[in-house]
């Protein structure tokens, strides 16, 4: 997936603005197999997408399961959004949602796995799709925008990611929601009102005062059209070779055949003149019809067509309507692009296997289905309609005792699990007999099968999807799922061993929070390998931001402990250099603290100056609120680098009083929510030596 983030103090980000420009891709082509290693991998760009999609359909339909992996331009839009230990279930969703909304997916790995009973092995078909949010339809709105995180881009470059192939040859896509919007826009742009625009010209022109130049122009056009029509009627069998007259007339009027009918093309007229011509036709010519059609090159062609009768005119309009709808639909289908792959996975209802894939699924929903809902419950409901069966191999590795023992307390990242569980596959060129007892996997790309390769230092979405599928297959074998028994492999979805793990994803690996996609409920994981973690009650938390830069978490705790007693302050933890979480032992102390802050800010007497909290609240930029304010800040689509700037941008600084009242009411109706976290206090000066973030890459 993605590399470890640097410390938040050093973390940087770039903002990319992608314009809908069709670049020349003549010199940019992606090879069908991976170029930077000998591992057989099918690279797919827009140049070979149609053929690859056709092959993928058959592979997915025959598959027992399909493994996926995504490569993104970044993970967190601001360092403070990555402090997983203090993210409540609903808040963590908001921060992951923010990531899926702001960053782009550049590579999508898909690897169908099919059990080959003749060889007692799996056949894997790894595909590496380069995708890019290019707008293929001109009426599809503004250009796409997404963020890039420098660490993520450096990581991709380190593993020789082909940015040229991605940008120039990457497959574009439309989400279902964008498809509906694009279809409406196309119908509006090329609808009936444009195909026979003269039908609504009269009322428009009547409202305007017609000047002498317009009168003269209309008269000239009437005469010109009369001449053309009369010649048609008198010489039915003539060959139309253009119009007689001046060079201007030859340039502006050209005779062609359209739908087996003689027609005039109108060129070099202003939009106002075209409206006048429509008005002339509507008023003086029953056997002439004005139409606007697409010439096949994304340009509109304006025609005056001769018709034999009113019935013939209606027939012509029906034909033009039908043709335009076909053109529009072809544009839509082409613009849908990579979403055809997502639709395939959704329609086949196969078991989708990922590794630590909650963020992946949010990206899939955001890019290919529609906007992300504001709550986990709504998200789960929407996702389940398209992907009813999802398996997270990280859940599997940490939730089954056999696999826990096999991992032997090792890191459960994807590469680590692949090396430990699948050494006979990971080191296929160095096989030893002791490794041959595992599930065997062959790789097939096009018509070539291979069981030996040297993957080297490969890191691409297609290869990671392959590793994910191999880990899942080996885990199933270790848990006693017999693939040789075809009835077992054909019914993985109904397997009792897997049932308790399907549709469970890590919402927060740091805290062991799991989301059950079947119900939308939170499940807190507890397994023996986790260290004891101090309890935290979110209702006991006060958020403080904007304090003087010389104050560290330790100093802030000392100030508050002097006022409330050392035993009443559980911990103080940095959110970033501008904010801290203060956890009290009792929920009522949150209100007491906020009330005391207000009183100290209003008073200006000697006693106030001597108060231990004065050092903390001595500047007007210091603000404080309960945990619900943190949720409001996280729900904002903005992402300022510093939390204090984010709070200011959201307007929380001006709303502290109202938020405090809301939190008082909330505490009266909610039970205290507790979870386990590591209560490590970190001073700002220690950040350069302490990586206290729970990074996604560490749990890959």
Domains of the chain as residue ranges with CATH:
15-173+337-524 (3.30.420.10), 190-318 (no CATH), 534-699 (3.30.70.330)
- Which of 380, 501, 395, 519 minimizes the C-alpha distance to 97? 380
pLDDT for 658: 42
If phi > 0 it is left, if psi is from -120 to 50 it is alpha, else beta; for residue 417 that is: alpha
pLDDT of residue 16: 44
What's the per-residue H, E or C state across 406-450? HHCCCCCCHHHHHHHHCHHHHCHHHCCHHHCCCCCEEEEECCEEE
Rounded CA separation 698/412 (Å): 8
Three-state helix/strand/coil letters over 687-699: HHHCCCCCCHHHH
Write down the pLDDT at residue 15: 44
pLDDT tens track for 497-515: 999 899 999 987 777 889 9
Residue that the structure tokens 């070779």 belong to = 241
Query: Residue 293: which pLDDT band, with cuts at 50, 70 and 90?
Result: confident
- Banded pLDDT at 359 (limits 50, 70, 90): very high
pLDDT at 113 exceeding the cut of 70:
yes
Over residues 458-462, the mean pLDDT reads 87
Give the Cβ contact number of residue 430 at 10 Å: 11
Distance in angstroms (rounded) separating the CA atoms of residues 628 and 634: 10
474 or 325: whose pLDDT is higher? 474
Give the separation between CA 227 and CA 222, rounded to whole angstroms.
9
Coil, strand or helix: which one is 42? Answer: strand
Q: Give the residue from 562, 616, 559, 568 showing the smallest Cα distance to 589.
A: 568
* Kind plus residue range of the DSSP H or E element containing 579: strand 579-584
pLDDT of 489: 54
Between 330 and 254, name the one with better pLDDT. Answer: 330
d(CA 80, CA 140): 34
Is the predicted pLDDT of residue 208 greater than 60, yes or no?
no
- Report the SS3 class of residue 61: helix
Nearest to 336 by CA among 203, 117, 137: 137
Mean pLDDT, residues 483-506 taken together? 83
What is the rounded average pLDDT of the residues 249-253?
60
Q: Are 483 and 497 in contact (CB under 8 A)?
A: no
What token pair was written down for 326?
A: 């076909």
Q: Which residues pair with 515 in a beta bridge?
A: 505, 522
* Alpha-carbon radius of gyration of the chain: 33
pLDDT for the residue numbered 450: 82
Q: How far is CA 543 from CA 317, 351, 620, in A?
A: 66, 42, 16
CA dihedral 176, 180, 182, 187 (to 10 degrees): 160
Question: What are the distances in angstroms from CA 279 to CA 47, 218, 313, 355, 481?
Answer: 46, 8, 17, 64, 76
**Nearest-10 Cα torsion for 221, 224, 226, 229:** -120
Residue 171 has pLDDT above 50, yes or no: yes
The single-letter DSSP state of residue 131 is B
- Residue 152 CA, chain-centre distance (Å), reads 16
**Arithmetic mean of pLDDT, 174-189:** 83
Residue bearing tokens 């017999």: 482
The CA dihedral of 356, 362, 363, 366, to the nearest 10 degrees, is 170
Question: What percent of the chain stands above pLDDT 70?
Answer: 75
The pLDDT tens digits for 531-583 are 555 577 899 999 999 998 899 999 999 999 999 999 999 999 999 999 999 99
What is the pLDDT averaged over residues 242-259? 64
What is the pLDDT at residue 424? 86
- What pLDDT does residue 164 have? 96
- CA distances from residue 628 to 466, 655, 675 in whole angstroms, order as listed: 42, 12, 17
What is the tens place of the pLDDT at every residue in 138-157?
Answer: 655 567 889 999 999 999 99
Q: Which residues contact 112 (CB under 8 A, 6 or more apart)?
A: 56, 59, 60, 62, 63, 65, 66, 67, 124, 125, 350
Burial of 419 (0-12, 13-18, 19+ CB in 10 A): middle
Which pLDDT score is estimated for 24?
41
User: Residue 525: what pLDDT?
Assistant: 65
Mean pLDDT is lowest, of 33-37, 280-284, 304-308, 534-538, for: 33-37
Check: CB of residue 683 under 8 Å from CB of residue 577.
no
Give me the mean pLDDT over the 392-409 stretch.
Answer: 92
Crossing angle (nearest 10°) for helices 553-564 and 588-602: 90
How high does pLDDT run on average in the chain? 81
In the beta sheet, which residues pair with residue 449? 444
Contact indicator for 336, 369 with CB cutoff of 8 Å:
no
Does 305 have pLDDT greater than 70? yes
Query: CB–CB of 421/474 below 8 Å?
Result: yes
Q: How confident is the model at residue 673 (pLDDT cuts 50, 70, 90)?
A: very low
CB 403 within 8 A of CB 475: yes
Could you tell me how many residues make up the chain? 700
Percentage of the chain exceeding pLDDT 90: 51
What's residue 666's pLDDT? 52
- 362 is written with which tokens? 């949010």
The first and second tokens of residue 101, run together, are 């909304």
* Pairing outcome for strands 288-294 and 300-306: antiparallel
Six-digit token string for 178: 């964008």
Of 123-137, 221-235, 287-301, 619-633, give the lowest mean pLDDT range: 287-301
Which carries the bigger pLDDT value, residue 491 or residue 43? Answer: 43
Strand pairing category for 253-258 and 623-626: unpaired
Strands 541-545 and 623-626: antiparallel
Beta-ladder partners of 64:
none
């Amino acid at each position: 997936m993605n590399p470890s983030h640097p410390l938040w103090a050093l973390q940087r980000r770039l903002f990319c603005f992608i314009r809908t420009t069709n670049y020349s891709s003549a010199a940019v082509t992606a090879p069908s197999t991976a170029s930077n290693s000998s591992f057989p991998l099918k690279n797919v760009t827009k140049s070979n997408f149609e053929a690859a999609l056709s092959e993928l359909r058959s592979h997915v339909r025959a598959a027992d399961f399909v493994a996926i992996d995504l490569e993104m331009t970044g993970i967190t839009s601001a360092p403070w959004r990555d402090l997983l230990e203090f993210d409540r279930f609903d808040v963590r969703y908001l921060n992951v949602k923010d990531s899926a909304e702001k960053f782009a997916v550049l590579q999508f790995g898909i690897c169908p796995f099919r059990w080959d009973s003749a060889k007692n092995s799996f056949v894997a078909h790894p595909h590496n799709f380069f995708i890019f949010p290019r707008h293929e339809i001109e009426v599809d709105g503004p250009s796409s925008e997404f963020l890039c995180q420098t660490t993520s881009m450096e990581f991709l470059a380190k593993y020789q990611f082909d940015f040229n192939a991605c940008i120039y040859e990457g497959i574009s896509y439309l989400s279902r929601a964008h498809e509906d919007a694009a279809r409406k826009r196309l119908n509006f742009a090329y609808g009936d009102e444009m195909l026979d625009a003269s039908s609504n010209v009269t009322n428009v022109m009547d409202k305007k005062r017609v000047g002498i130049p317009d009168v003269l122009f209309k008269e000239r056009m009437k005469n010109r059209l009369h001449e053309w029509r009369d010649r048609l009627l008198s010489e039915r069998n003539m060959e139309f070779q253009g119009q007689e007259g001046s060079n201007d007339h030859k340039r502006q009027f050209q005779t062609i055949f359209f739908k087996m009918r003689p027609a005039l093309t109108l060129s070099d007229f202003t939009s106002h003149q075209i409206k006048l011509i429509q008005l002339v036709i509507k008023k003086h010519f029953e056997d002439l019809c004005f139409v606007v059609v697409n010439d096949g090159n994304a340009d509109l062609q304006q025609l005056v067509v001769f018709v034999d009768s009113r019935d013939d005119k209606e027939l012509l309009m029906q034909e033009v309507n039908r043709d335009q709808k076909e053109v529009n639909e072809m544009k839509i289908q082409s613009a849908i692009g990579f979403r055809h792959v997502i639709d395939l996975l959704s329609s086949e209802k196969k078991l989708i296997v990922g590794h630590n894939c909650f963020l992946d699924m949010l990206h899939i929903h955001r890019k290919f289905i529609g906007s992300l809902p504001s709550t986990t419950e709504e998200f789960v409901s929407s996702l389940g309609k398209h992907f009813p069966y999802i398996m997270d191999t990280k859940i599997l590795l940490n939730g089954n005792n056999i696999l826990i023992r096999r991992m032997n307390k090792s890191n459960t990242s994807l590469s680590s699990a692949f090396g430990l569980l699948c050494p006979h596959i990971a080191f296929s060129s160095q096989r030893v007999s002791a490794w041959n007892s595992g599930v065997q996997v062959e790789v097939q790309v096009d018509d070539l099968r291979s069981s030996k390769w040297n993957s080297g230092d490969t890191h691409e979405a297609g290869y990671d999807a392959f590793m994910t599928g191999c880990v899942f297959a080996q885990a199933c074998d270790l848990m006693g799922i017999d693939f040789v028994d075809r009835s077992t492999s054909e019914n993985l979805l109904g397997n009792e061993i897997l049932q308790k793990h399907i549709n469970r994803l890590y919402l927060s690996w740091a805290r062991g929070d799991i989301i059950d996609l079947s119900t939308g409920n939170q499940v807190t994981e507890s397994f023996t390998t986790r260290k004891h973690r101090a309890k935290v009650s979110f209702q006991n938390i006060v958020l403080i931001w904007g304090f003087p830069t010389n104050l560290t978490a330790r100093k802030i705790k000392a100030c508050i402990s002097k006022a409330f007693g050392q035993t009443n302050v559980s911990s103080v933890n940095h959110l970033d250099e501008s904010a801290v979480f203060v956890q009290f032992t009792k929920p009522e102390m949150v209100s007491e603290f906020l009330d005391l802050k207000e009183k100290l800010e209003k008073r200006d007497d000697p006693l106030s100056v001597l108060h231990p909290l004065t050092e903390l609240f001595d500047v007007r930029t210091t603000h404080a609120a309960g945990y619900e304010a943190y949720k409001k800040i996280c729900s904002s689509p903005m992402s300022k680098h510093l939390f204090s700037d984010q709070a200011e941008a959201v307007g929380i600084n001006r709303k502290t009083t109202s938020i405090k009242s809301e939190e008082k009411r909330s505490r009266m109706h909610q039970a205290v929510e507790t979870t386990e976290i590591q209560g490590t206090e970190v001073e700002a000066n220690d950040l350069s030596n302490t990586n206290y973030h729970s990074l996604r890459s560490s749990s890959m």
